[in-house]
């Protein structure tokens, strides 16, 4: 048997691993609360499901589609991006539909990176960025940032080299839930422009913002989409469509044609039926989006004070978006005598029956990621369990 060097180095997604471990324990009959998962717990809105059923019945799901997606959907994404971001002159040619936002990112890195090209990743960063960059022959460069969890031009300047070609920005951010504001984005835009860097802006959580916070994308600072900027988004989080695997890239036409060429060999096309579902999601009734957003907001507002009441768990700044909390657990380690965050997470799973993700999966130790994409009762019970686990050490 032969396994490539590349495959040998590859680790499965840490967040998916925790989740499947928790799911297995639940299947074995254990009462485990899974806060390791990064997906909304709502069923996809009915109008979206119905559009998919209609597409199947009309015989539209049976055949290959163009590699970058059906033109109606590409146009719908272009229109929504123009409206939501205040941009002009976007057309279907600026859009590639992909198999989830993961493939949007994967095909983007394949299209922009040459071997040895460096990509700046503010810490903590979402697990798959670094692995996908490596799979494209690039070099992920972790950028330590201050307590706000937000990268500044000074942070990036400390890590930029003559090999740096791109910067990945995720706002609202997984795992911290922080949002960059207009002036912070403006500074980053100026700095990356001066250094001729591409900016991959992962806006997948853009509609999940809370308590009056406002989402701005670095892509919307000008009237036209800057050819340096690549927007990544999709239906998974906003429309609770993780299983449908619908993402997209919005970028310069020339780059999109290369991404489409890559996709034509990699996936052939994104699943036909899912494309009709995303078309309805983007163009149909948006009422459910607000219902789900409000549910997340309510969960955040309930769980945040409970979390800060747990001995050794510190999260001084309340997150404003996505559906994660990323507390510092240094004090919890000190209090309990548990040596590593990995061990803390593992003991919380086996003893308190709560699944969390070790922050080192996002490049930062002494933190855990807690997802609040689960119902309020389970969230409250999970906080009680974690607190009881920690109180035994006091
Ligand atoms: N980008 C970020 C920041 C995410 O958290 C996720 C999913 O967890 C994705 C992209 C991938 O989304 P999708 O499920 O559409 O592939």
pTM of the model: 0.96
Rounded to whole angstroms, the Cα distance separating 237 from 374 reads 13
Atom of ligand 1 nearest to the CA of 173: 3
Per the structure, the complete domain to which residue 254 belongs is given by 62-283
Domain match, 277 and 292 both = no
| DSSP per position, 74-122 | HHHHHHHHHHHHT-BS--GGGEEEEEHHHHHHHHHHHHH--TT-EEEEE
Q: What is the whole-number distance in angstroms between the Cα of residue 104 and the centre of ligand 1?
A: 10
Q: What is the pLDDT of residue 78?
A: 98
Beta pairing partners, 88: 224
CB of 249 within 6 A of ligand 1: the answer is: no
Q: Does the C-beta of 271 come closer than 6 Å to ligand 1?
A: no
> In terms of domains, do 231 and 366 share one?
no
Among 255, 283, 311, give the residue marking a domain's end. 283
Q: Residue 11: its pLDDT value, please?
A: 78
Q: What is d(CA 56, CA 153) in angstroms, rounded to the nearest whole number?
A: 49
CA angle 231, 87, 96 (to 5 degrees): 40
Instruction: Compute the distance from residue 331 Cα to the ligand 1 centre, in Å.
Output: 30
Ligand 1 centroid, distance to 233 Cα (angstroms): 8
CA of 215 to the centre of ligand 1 (A): 17
- Pocket test of ligand 1: the residue of 18, 100, 101 to mutate, having most ligand atoms within 8 Å of its CB, is 101
Instruction: Answer whether 173 contacts ligand 1 (Cβ < 6 A).
Output: no
Ligand 1 pocket member 102 (CB < 6 A): yes
CA of 246 to the centre of ligand 1 (A): 10
Residue 161 lies in a domain: yes
What is the pLDDT tens value at each position of the chain, 394 positions in all? 999 998 888 877 777 777 778 888 989 999 999 999 889 999 999 999 999 999 999 999 999 999 999 999 999 999 999 999 999 999 999 999 999 999 999 999 999 999 999 999 999 999 899 999 999 999 999 999 998 899 999 999 999 999 999 999 999 999 999 999 999 999 999 999 999 999 999 999 999 999 999 999 999 998 899 999 999 999 999 999 999 999 999 999 999 999 999 999 999 999 999 999 999 999 999 999 999 999 999 999 999 999 999 999 999 899 999 999 999 999 999 999 999 999 999 999 999 999 999 999 899 989 999 999 999 999 999 999 999 999 999 7
Please report the atom of ligand 1 found closest to the CA of residue 235.
Answer: 15
Residue that is last in its domain, among 283, 308, 340 = 283
Same domain, 328 and 353: yes
Q: What CATH code is carried by the domain that includes residue 375? A: 3.90.1150.10
174 in contact with ligand 1, CB cutoff 6 A: yes
202 lines ligand 1 (CB under 6 A): yes
Structure tokens at 85: 């971001």
Tell me the CA–centroid distance for residue 203 and ligand 1, in Å.
Answer: 10
Helix, strand, or coil (residue 140): strand
Residue 183, Cβ density class (10 Å: 0-12 exposed, 13-18 middle, ≥19 buried):
exposed
Residues 78 and 93 in one domain: yes
Compute the distance between CA of residue 130 and CA of residue 84 in angstroms, rounded to an integer.
29
**Residue 160, domain member (yes or no):** yes
The residue among 373, 394, 384 whose CA lies nearest residue 34 is 373
Report yes or no on 54 lying in a domain.
no
Expressed in angstroms and rounded, the spacing between residue 392 Cα and the centre of ligand 1 is: 36
| Domain stop point among 266, 283, 300 | 283
Q: Are 371 and 37 in contact (CB under 8 A)?
A: yes
Does 255 share its domain with 292?
no
With b for 16 or more beta-carbon neighbours within 10 A and e for fewer, the 108-136 pattern comes to bbbbbbeeebbbbbbbbbbbbbbbbbbbb
Residues 248 and 230 in one domain: yes
Q: Could you give the number of structural domains in the chain?
A: 2
From CA 1, how far away is CA 346, in angstroms rounded? Answer: 33
Q: How many degrees, rounded to 5, is the angle at CA 49 between CA 44 and CA 54?
A: 170
Distance 123 CA to ligand 1 centre (A): 17
Q: What DSSP state is assigned to residue 348? A: I
Q: Give the other-Cβ count within 10 Å of 382's Cβ.
A: 26
Same domain, 200 and 248: yes
Does the beta carbon of 101 sit less than 6 angstroms from any atom of ligand 1?
A: yes
Q: Is residue 250 part of a domain?
A: yes
**Using CA atoms, how far apart are residues 167 and 245, in angstroms rounded to an integer?**
25
- 268 Cα–ligand 1 center, Å: 21
* Residue with CA nearest ligand 1 atom 8: 38
Same domain, 190 and 242: yes
pLDDT of amino acid 51: 98
Task: Compute, in degrees rounded to 10, the torsion defined by CA atoms 322, 327, 328, 329.
Answer: -140
Q: Assess contact for 94 and 78: CB atoms under 8 A.
A: yes
DSSP string covering 228-282:
TEEEEEESTTTTT-GGG-EEEEE--HHHHHHHHHHHHHHTSSS-HHHHHHHHHHH
Taking phi over 0 as left and psi of -120 to 50 as alpha, with beta for the rest, 177 belongs to left
The DSSP H or E segment spanning 299 is helix 287-308
Task: Say yes or no: 146 and 90 in one domain.
Answer: yes
- Shared domain check, 383 and 272: no
Length of the chain: 394
């Amino acid at each position: 048997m032969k396994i490539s060097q590349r495959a040998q180095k590859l680790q499965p997604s840490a967040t998916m691993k925790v989740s499947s471990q928790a799911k297995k324990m639940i299947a074995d009959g254990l009462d485990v609360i899974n806060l390791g998962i990064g997906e909304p717990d709502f069923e996809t809105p009915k109008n979206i499901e119905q559009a998919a059923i209609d597409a199947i019945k009309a015989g539209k799901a049976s055949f290959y589609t163009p590699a970058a997606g059906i033109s109606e959907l590409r146009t719908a994404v272009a229109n929504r991006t123009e409206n939501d971001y205040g941009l002009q002159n976007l057309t279907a040619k600026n859009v590639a539909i992909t198999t989830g936002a993961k493939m949007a990112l994967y095909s983007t890195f394949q299209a922009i990176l040459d071997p040895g090209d460096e990509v700046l990743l503010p810490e903590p960063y979402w697990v798959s960025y670094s692995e996908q960059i490596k799979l494209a022959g690039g070099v992920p460069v972790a950028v330590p940032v201050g307590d706000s969890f937000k990268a500044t031009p000074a942070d990036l300047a400390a890590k930029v080299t003559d090999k740096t070609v791109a910067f990945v920005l995720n706002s609202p951010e997984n795992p911290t839930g922080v949002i960059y504001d207009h002036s912070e984005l403006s500074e980053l835009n100026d700095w990356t422009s001066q250094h001729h860097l591409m900016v991959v802006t992962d806006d997948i959580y853009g509609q999940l913002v809370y308590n009056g916070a406002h989402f701005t994308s670095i892509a919307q600072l000008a009237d036209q989409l800057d050819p340096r900027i690549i927007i990544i988004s999709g239906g998974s989080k906003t429309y609770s469509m993780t299983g449908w695997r619908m993402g997209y890239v919005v970028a310069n036409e020339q780059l999109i044609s290369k991404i489409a060429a890559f996709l034509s060999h990699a996936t052939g096309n994104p699943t036909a039926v899912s494309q009709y579902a995303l078309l309805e999601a983007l163009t149909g009734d948006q009422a459910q989006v607000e219902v789900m957003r409000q549910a997340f907001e309510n969960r955040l507002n309930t769980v945040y004070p409970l979390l800060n009441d747990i001995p050794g768990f510190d999260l001084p700044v309340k997150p404003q978006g996505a559906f994660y909390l990323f507390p510092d657990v240094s004090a919890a380690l000190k209090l309990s005598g548990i040596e590593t965050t990995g061990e803390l997470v593992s003991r919380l799973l086996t003893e308190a029956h709560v699944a969390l993700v070790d922050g080192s999966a996002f490049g930062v130790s002494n933190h855990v990621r807690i997802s609040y994409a689960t119902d309020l009762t389970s969230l409250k019970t999970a906080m009680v369990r974690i607190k009881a686990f920690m109180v035994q050490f006091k």
